[in-house]
Amino acid sequence: MWDRYLQRQMQRGNRNLLLTGLLLIGAVAALAAAPQRYWYNFRHGPFAIRDVDLAKPGEAPPVKVWVTLESLYEPAAIGSQSSSKHGRVNKYFHYLPLEFVLHKVTAPGKGGAPPTTRPATNDELLQVKAYLAKHHKPPKGYVPMPSKGLLVGNKQQLSAPGKFTGELSRIPTDVRRDLELDKDFPELLPLMLDMNNYRVRGYTGIGFGSVLALAGLLTLLTAMRRMQDPTRHWTWQQLATYGDPDILAMTLEAELSTDGSRVAVGRTVVTSNWLLRSRAYGVEVMSLDAVVWAYEKVVQHYTNGIPTGKEFAAMVGDRHGRLMQLGAKKATTQETLAEIARRRPWSRPTSSRWPKSWPRWRSARRS
């Protein structure tokens, strides 16, 4: 049953199909193997963390970790980030205190201005502790001031202490610049707790990866079946619509070898009786005796209402209702149609519109 031309084309198509399946499965493997830290957090997180752990001096804080931080302090809103297109707020940013230092008021505020303070000395701290032990309330003239804080981002505003769950990562440069954090909040850690739904990316990746893996497995299975049984290949099935594929394959091979009038236009080959178009996964085959309609299709492309170019294609239909599109440049499209019309004059239409009586065209037989 093997004809040399069809054999080469179908083998090439099966090889390309096999490579496509392997690439799809490889993409899934790369998707699963690359972000190991994320998948570890996805499976085992969120991890509990204390504010004192973040505020420890001399220790590098963890980043790219899904954590839950329980705080007794109330977060304060310090800004937001809006969409540049719709003006809708995408995220609110809050200042969450992590550690306080006692300050002594050196001068009261005037005219609504905050008082002037300085950090309390060790002797003053001992005095305050003694006063607290005796009177159970802090002395006048001292106020607690935050010495370290954490930036918290959320889609909604936060106003109460509690548990804050999100991804702990570095503060983005644009957020630091827009909120002027270095100027107004120098005590902030270089971290942001982004309270997004951490597992959404994982579930999306699992869904997308499952579809890719299934497509890759089906592609591999299809390629192996076609390698074992060439009659499963769509090229062979197209040939079978015109008669016995074994006999037609030998006739086609002989015609390709001896037909001096065959013409190659790009990836399209026109012989005395056949129209062939090489594709990524095989070759399209159409008998010229079955062709009932051929015309030039022109698609005008626009960008913002301005014409930006045209796309040309030769559209060839046969009596079995199959339509072959031979996309090419204008010159090669017209050359292909001219070669078909020279061999089968009835196939050249008087207009580029598909006939309304297509059911009758499908059953028509030209000789």
Q: What does the pLDDT look like over 266-319, one tens digit per residue?
A: 888 888 889 999 999 999 999 998 888 888 888 888 888 887 888 888 888 888
| Cα angle value 213/216/218 (rounded, 5°) | 110
Give me the residues paired with residue 299 across strands: 311
Q: Give the DSSP letter string of 324-346.
A: EEEEE-HHHHHHHHHHHHHH-GG
Q: Where do the H-state alpha helices sit in 229-329?
A: 234-240, 245-258
Contact 152, 66 (CB under 8 A): no
Burial class (CB in 10 A: 0-12, 13-18, 19+), 290: buried
Mind listing the domains of the chain with CATH numbers? 47-197 (no CATH), 233-363 (2.30.29)
**What are the beta bridge partners of residue 285?**
276
- Runs of H (alpha helix) within 229-367: 234-240, 245-258, 330-343, 358-363
Q: Which residues of the chain have pLDDT under 70?
A: 1-3, 52, 55-62, 84-87, 109-114, 347-367
Write down the pLDDT at residue 199.
Answer: 86
Helix (H, G, I), strand (E, B) or coil at 132: helix
Q: Reading across the β-sheet that carries 263-265, which strands appear in turn? A: 263-265, 268-270, 274-279, 282-287
Say if pTM beats, i.e. exceeds, 0.75: no
- Per-residue pLDDT, 59: 55
Nearest to 316 by CA among 331, 334, 337, 299: 337
Q: What is the mean pLDDT of the chain?
A: 81
pLDDT (0 to 100) of residue 2: 41
Q: Rounded CA gap, 31 and 5, in Å?
A: 39
pLDDT at 211: 94
